[in-house]
Structure 1
């Protein structure tokens, strides 16, 4: 069974079939050839994969991000960031990083960040004299901060797949790694800008301008505080928090007169299309993951890893390498659903903290979004910036090295992940 499943999966993937259909076709092939289960399990398992209250947070977070973007909140964040760090060497690059950190607290999605604020910052960098290749590469790298800083769609998916950690725990655990990733990319931008004489000479905007732009950006900055505060305070669940974010976005947009009734249908349609694509992947990944479990592949793989006796750190490093390789070819959401039931038990048996492993897997797969040949963020930035994918791939390599270094720090120092959750009473 596992040979058919993996064989059809790899074959369809090499043919360029979309990942949702790849998993569906592989699962259907197993059921048809093996004959151990009736075909009725296909719709049953696909429905069971979607029949989850926490999963409702995904379309709500997508809609909230679209409402914030349409309501010109992104422009307010850009203005504030430019006033705050635009005068530093490589200033527009720092603006790019800072906006992605702020927007990560709204969208929870790297693709939303890449198509929205990162794309805008990329154009601004280009107009300021930065090479298009570097502007695009930095925009792609900063977009990956989106799924790390809460809220995060990937964390919601992981929380559904693995019961040992809660979504609230992961939201807290993502704060320091996300900020560390932003800081590392800002330092890399500073070094690259100094070496190539990028972005110098802009005057300091002044504290008055900073205060003025900060005032306009407050509605956007409050979003992650409302979400996390409400969840930790027991006011609402993560799913309810996503719905609150939608209502808040609507209220802010109408209050500032940046949203109108006339553009709502277009926003809702765009959000519905993206949500349906995500949920389609979740449903087919669910039956694929179920068949993997039935075939005993996770158990056999776990026994093989355990037999190597690498210890806690060695096992975690090996799993991180496997995740990184898997992320080269598979998109993030299906990778979470497929890999979690296979790799999580191996990590737990080796003594790895469940929350630490969750963040290693999420951060690892997020980095995979900017690695060829599948890296979806690369394709979004390439399309938006009208830059050839091979040029963008070469330009992002130094920034990718920085991201992998941050990943290594997260692996070697669990406290970066666990400190804030433990401060709020999660874990030992």
Structure 2
């Protein structure tokens, strides 16, 4: 009964348009009062949900992304990507995908990728004759690799929700799936470019220009490498890596690219504080919601039910895919991970599914929700930038979404695509 009130309340509040953090908190409070518990417990769980050292990584990674994205970084990465594919047929579309892929190793956020370099790329594609709806849809579809390629805030939260995986192992596990999604989008853009006659831009650059552009892009591209190698070697923890990333980004912005001044820092810090507060509020509410799930023994009941059905691991994963593709339409990946991981991860473990493999399936699923109509938050962002109707965007996104679902199925049926790199690197 209490579990029904908990989930029913969440659905009701979301349907009424209540922001996700307040919907989670209100649903939890309703369930607590219905169960006759002391409502003070909700306050305690809200506070204790934030009392975690790894959570300190979130504001620091966000600040590092703000520092790296301020100024000329988007143009640097765009020129670096363009020199490889810009002159080919559909070159600007390829450049769009490669630039966002490079950028994802810095921002860790799909929305940041779409609103940052994505806005610049959409404008360039429009000027070159690409249909605005196609440019916006391609940018949104490419941007979902932001939370998949490390560093990733979603992966940090998943590791907190499921003790069966570590942040480092998830970071490494996301590399291959993220590159697979980018490669799939490049393949689709190549096909669409031949079919719709999207021309390339200019000629192939000379060796001198390639070397100059690559040299200028190296500092930006080294940040994700610094994080993964440093954490893997044991030189620092993921939380410490986030602090190092801030100082590295500050050095790049002030000394190497010279696009950041001291007067810009208050605004960058304030913007980071605002984003961090929004995310941490969701985490606090999700922690209270997860505590109520544990109190009602919902994960244990569902696990026993799933085991009683006698589902094979593959059938279970397919059922999870269908559920999360629908669930992800209505809820963002950050709160989505915190809600579903405590429920689904024990079921997967009971069926012998590798925790890292399952985590990647969950994370990719929830990110696909951001480009799945009718909600599609990423499409909303790129649509506003391109100034196109959602109906036109939907027509362009459906084939891209279908290709990414095929990639998801490949990740589902071939676990080594997620676990191979972490196992090879010895990530525990």
Work out whether the TM-score is over 0.5: yes
Partner of 1:206: 206
CA distances 1:173-200 after superposition (whole Å, capped 9, x unpaired):
1111111111011001100111100133
Partner of 1:308: 309
Counterparts in 2 of 1:199 and 1:43: CA distance versus 1, 3 Å: farther
Q: What are the within-5 Å matches in structure 2 for residues 17-416 of structure 1?
A: 17-35=18-36, 37-200=37-200, 202-255=202-255, 256-416=257-417
CA distances 1:188-242 after superposition (whole Å, capped 9, x unpaired):
1100111100133632122322221111111110001110111011111011111
Once the two structures are overlaid, the 10-residue window that deviates more, 288-297 or 324-333, is 288-297
CA contact (8 A) 1:331 1:375 kept: no
CA contact (8 A) 1:109 1:146 kept: yes
TM-score (normalizing by structure 2)? 0.97
Once the two structures are overlaid, the 10-residue window that deviates more, 399-408 or 379-388, is 379-388
CA contact (8 A) 2:91 2:201 kept: no
Give the Cα separation in 1 of the matches to 2:295 and 2:43: 17
Give the Cα separation in 1 of the matches to 2:150 and 2:238: 11
Give the Cα separation in 2 of the matches to 1:390 and 1:23: 31
Residue ranges of structure 1 left out of the alignment (5+ in a row)? none
Partner of 1:417: 418
Give the Cα separation in 1 of the matches to 2:324 and 2:360: 12
Residue ranges of structure 2 left out of the alignment (5+ in a row)? none
CA contact (8 A) 1:327 1:365 kept: yes
Q: CA deviation at 1:340?
A: 0.5
CA contact (8 A) 1:316 1:352 kept: no
Q: CA deviation at 1:120?
A: 1.4
Q: CA deviation at 1:374?
A: 3.0
CA contact (8 A) 1:90 1:189 kept: yes
Give the Cα separation in 2 of the matches to 1:390 and 1:154: 29
Q: CA deviation at 1:373?
A: 3.1
Give the Cα separation in 1 of the matches to 2:274 and 2:228: 27
RMSD over aligned CA atoms reads 1.3
CA contact (8 A) 1:118 1:142 kept: no
Q: After TM superposition, what 4+ stretches of structure 1 lie above 4 angstroms from structure 2? A: none
Kindly indicate whether residue 6 of structure 2 is the aligned counterpart of residue 5 of structure 1: yes
Give the Cα separation in 1 of the matches to 2:83 and 2:162: 42
Give the Cα separation in 2 of the matches to 1:199 and 1:23: 48
Q: CA deviation at 1:426?
A: 3.6
CA contact (8 A) 1:77 1:102 kept: yes
Give the Cα separation in 1 of the matches to 2:148 and 2:69: 19
The alignment partner of 1:50 has SS state of: coil
Give the Cα separation in 2 of the matches to 1:210 and 1:409: 35
CA contact (8 A) 2:92 2:201 kept: no
